[in-house]
Chains A and B, each alone.
Chain A
């Protein structure tokens, strides 16, 4: 339906000088790049290029899946990795497509912007000689007041009007091109917002166990994973501390979660500590950072009493394994166990570790491998005890959530036994030392983020939407009226009104739409000063303005 002038492929005047070859090539490439056809091809390529990112696991979305993929396809995965398939949306090929597309876009909107500004400032063009050649045409008796009266009617209907002697030209529907330009420009701004966010934004993830002693302060070291944009330094992170006071979760009988809420104490720089709450869907908004609740679980409190009677306690989170019952897996390590308090001599082979499963609702009978419900109806921890050198002193960074299996395979750590412990129960090991399960503390999984581009994203997407509607539903059209002196030749054929003067009208839809004939008819009725049609025309004007609704009604 749209009458779009594909921009002229060649400049109108012949080149004065013989153009330089390279320049000519560049100019031609630019013209190619900014053509609508290229934009279409690039759009389609962009859609196709997004598919691998949804089919293959992505590091940014789920790094574990990528690791699993490497295990499952040891030959294919490295090849895919080399072409960036696991970070598809940051890959060279994806970036190349959208950068070309946006270059094309900018090359497309700049001249249109210039033309549009020019069009907005110029007056509607003079009426063509032969109005009867236009798609809409009418002849009627001239209203009292002639051209001025016609112009007045049009102005009241918010047409842009110019009167030239006996001729009236009027134009309407600049909103279409305005909307189109707004829409395409806001897409560029949107990309700028994305770029700002990735350059100046940062994010970090960590677990936070309830309790004063587990509070964390916002430094890079405090995060299990931190991602800082290229323009962000560790010193740029805003200073605040966070303590988890309480976590509530409610579940349905099926185990499906229903409600989460975290209560915390926030200590921001330059303010007194204050309580705050947040949950899924309503993050904690701090100055320069937002804190999101992504998950939760339990940290079993395990006390080990060594050969010298000294007790140590571990409250490290057990990570949920993904089932409905929140079965969790983890490690309580005691590298400083069995250090002689008198001499301070440590025997690295007497370090202790307990791995195991935590079951918030353990079944009544073995196997104790799967929790039946996510809240603690029958909490039990199924522990495996290990003694030996845990490998924590070797300086190789290991996970605090898993026993270093290399030490087990090397025989440096030996399994001592296994036992299911309920809350308050103790287990005396072969060497007389004891381990007790004291209970649990809740922990939450946090994502802390700062995205300086988000406001720009919001504003540009709102403008994008408004512009889009203007572009889709706006329609440009022109009408012309010529007051013919009495007795002149009537181009309409017969002369219905004898000797009095006539008005000849023509209408040209610049954007082709079926409603234009009606609108033109109503306009003619209004201009000719017919009482009843004028009312009808009033309704017609409304329709014309709500062109979106009209479009739907066609």
Chain B
């Protein structure tokens, strides 16, 4: 079972890679189409040839100016759409493989697969991708965001596999409690949503810059992204959804800590960083609710908030020693 889980993780990474590449193709074709469509009809053919070097072959050079069939632009658009569909399908497949890996791992360990940092990161990232698929069903127009999302997934899952991997072991007694399930599941769930939330947040920051006319490097990436307003709204919705769950998880952690360690709150490094994340996200929600604070300032707070979550996920396990040292990093 454990070996099966490991294999499924590898396949999931591959599927995320495929998703990322397909998204990138869609993106590139989208750019090409924009250029082609902007060109006058007469130069259309030339434009197609001109871009063929860096891109998949477009139209043959001898297309008449007003062809009876689909124009080159239409064909490119269709290919872009196909790339997008393949990307979404690959993401869904990856999410399934990923889920399979988690289930196999849980069966092998005979418990929920959240016992160490490896399993934790795997679960958090799965929640993120599952939530993304839900968002996609509700808002197909946000599909292009998948490029960033699949990039994040490849990075996270591969890091988990390459750096954090540990074999299956049972839980230490301190974790053997129903509070383990309550506290950790909610932390994992909210972290997953926050992970997804940072994707539109970053995309928003780039897109907002682009819409304001910035044409330098990171902003140009956002050229084919959904509108800044839509990204900003998605950012808020995800954070507003995750924040109460995260709050509940922290409270549940305090209740558990009272039972296990004799105090609800002791400023253990994990607790401290959870506090920091909570305060930063509260700051984000405040900033967003305050008209005098600019939206991109607020969104930066969300990004900072996610950095603190990452710090808790990785940094605290690696740098500090505390009561939460169950990370189980390989020596």
Q: How far is the CB of B65 from chain A (nearest CB, A)?
A: 43
Q: Determine whether the beta carbon of A54 is less than 8 Å from that of B286.
A: no
Q: Which residue of A lies closest to B267 (CB)?
A: A89
- Beyond A37-B293, A50-B272, is A280–B260 a contact (Cβ under 8 Å)? yes
**B228-251 residues at the A interface, CB under 8 angstroms:** 233, 236-237, 240-241, 243-244, 247-248, 251
- Beyond A6-B291, A6-B292, A472-B240, is A257–B172 a contact (Cβ under 8 Å)? yes
Q: Determine whether the beta carbon of A281 is less than 8 Å from that of B266.
A: no
**Looking at B138, B170, B267, which has the most chain A CB atoms within 10 Å of its CB?**
B267
Cα–Cα distance between A281 and B177 once the two chains are bound (Å): 7
- Beyond A37-B292, A40-B287, A281-B179, is A552–B174 a contact (Cβ under 8 Å)? no
- Beyond A1-B236, A36-B290, is A468–B243 a contact (Cβ under 8 Å)? yes
Q: Which residue of B lies closest to A458 (CB)?
A: B255
- What is the size, in residues, of chain B's interface with A at 8 Å between Cβ atoms? 55
**A448-483 residues at the B interface, CB under 8 angstroms:** 449, 451, 454, 457-458, 461-462, 464-465, 468-469, 472-473
- Beyond A283-B259, A294-B261, A469-B244, is A258–B170 a contact (Cβ under 8 Å)? yes
- Beyond A40-B293, A54-B320, is A256–B244 a contact (Cβ under 8 Å)? no
Q: Determine whether the beta carbon of A282 is less than 8 Å from that of B259.
A: yes
Contact code string B303-331 (vs A, CB < 8 Å = 1, else 0) = 00000100000001000101000000000
- Beyond A50-B272, A61-B267, A552-B241, is A203–B283 a contact (Cβ under 8 Å)? no
Which among A2, A6, A39, A53 is the interface contact of B267 at CB below 8 angstroms? Answer: A53
Cα–Cα distance between A550 and B327 once the two chains are bound (Å): 37
Cα–Cα distance between A548 and B176 once the two chains are bound (Å): 33
**Looking at A1, A47, A256, which has the most chain B CB atoms within 10 Å of its CB?**
A47
Is residue B258 within 8 Å, beta carbon to beta carbon, of the partner chain? yes
Q: Determine whether the beta carbon of B169 is less than 8 Å from that of A252.
A: yes
Which among B263, B275, B316, B322 is the interface contact of A50 at CB below 8 angstroms? Answer: B275
Q: Determine whether the beta carbon of B173 is less than 8 Å from that of A47.
A: no
Q: Determine whether the beta carbon of B237 is less than 8 Å from that of A551.
A: yes
Which among B254, B263, B266, B289 is the interface contact of A2 at CB below 8 angstroms? Answer: B289
Q: Which chain B residues lie closer than 8 Å to A256 at the CB level?
A: 169-170, 172
Q: Determine whether the beta carbon of A464 is less than 8 Å from that of B173.
A: no
Cα–Cα distance between A2 and B237 once the two chains are bound (Å): 12
Q: Is the interface of B mostly helix, strand, loop or mixed?
A: helix
Cα–Cα distance between A510 and B289 once the two chains are bound (Å): 13
Q: How far is the CB of A375 from chain B (nearest CB, A)?
A: 14
Q: Which chain B residues lie closer than 8 Å to A259 at the CB level?
A: 173, 176
Q: Determine whether the beta carbon of B283 is less than 8 Å from that of A44.
A: yes
Q: Determine whether the beta carbon of A465 is less than 8 Å from that of B273.
A: no
Is residue A489 within 8 Å, beta carbon to beta carbon, of the partner chain? no
- Beyond A43-B283, A61-B267, A552-B241, is A454–B179 a contact (Cβ under 8 Å)? no
- Beyond A47-B279, A89-B267, A554-B237, is A294–B173 a contact (Cβ under 8 Å)? no
Q: Which chain B residues lie closer than 8 Å to A469 at the CB level?
A: 244
Contact code string B143-184 (vs A, CB < 8 Å = 1, else 0) = 000000000000000000000000001101110110100000
Q: Which chain A residues lie closer than 8 Å to B263 at the CB level?
A: 203, 449, 451
Which among B176, B280, B288, B289 is the interface contact of A281 at CB below 8 angstroms? Answer: B176
- Beyond A54-B273, A257-B172, A259-B173, is A553–B138 a contact (Cβ under 8 Å)? yes
Is residue A174 within 8 Å, beta carbon to beta carbon, of the partner chain? no
Q: Which residue of A lies closest to B232 (CB)?
A: A1
**Looking at A252, A280, A294, which has the most chain B CB atoms within 10 Å of its CB?**
A280
Is residue A528 within 8 Å, beta carbon to beta carbon, of the partner chain? no
Q: Determine whether the beta carbon of B259 is less than 8 Å from that of A281.
A: yes
Q: Which chain A residues lie closer than 8 Å to B290 at the CB level?
A: 4, 6, 36-37, 40
- Beyond A54-B320, A294-B261, is A44–B138 a contact (Cβ under 8 Å)? no
Cα–Cα distance between A61 and B176 once the two chains are bound (Å): 23
Cα–Cα distance between A391 and B255 once the two chains are bound (Å): 46
Q: Determine whether the beta carbon of B283 is less than 8 Å from that of A552.
A: no
**A25-50 residues at the B interface, CB under 8 angstroms:** 36-37, 39-40, 43-44, 46-47, 50
Q: Please list the 8 inter-chain residue pairs (A to B) with the smallest Cβ-Cβ separation, ordered nearest first.
A: A292-B262, A54-B272, A2-B289, A281-B177, A47-B279, A43-B283, A447-B262, A54-B269
- Besides the known contacts A53-B272, A256-B169, A257-B172, 14 further A-B residue pairs in the complex with CB atoms under 8 A apart: A43-B286, A47-B283, A50-B272, A51-B276, A61-B266, A203-B262, A254-B169, A281-B179, A292-B260, A449-B262, A468-B247, A472-B243, A552-B241, A553-B138
8 pairs of residues in contact across A and B, judged by CB atoms under 8 Å? A47-B279, A60-B267, A257-B173, A258-B172, A280-B176, A464-B247, A465-B248, A468-B243
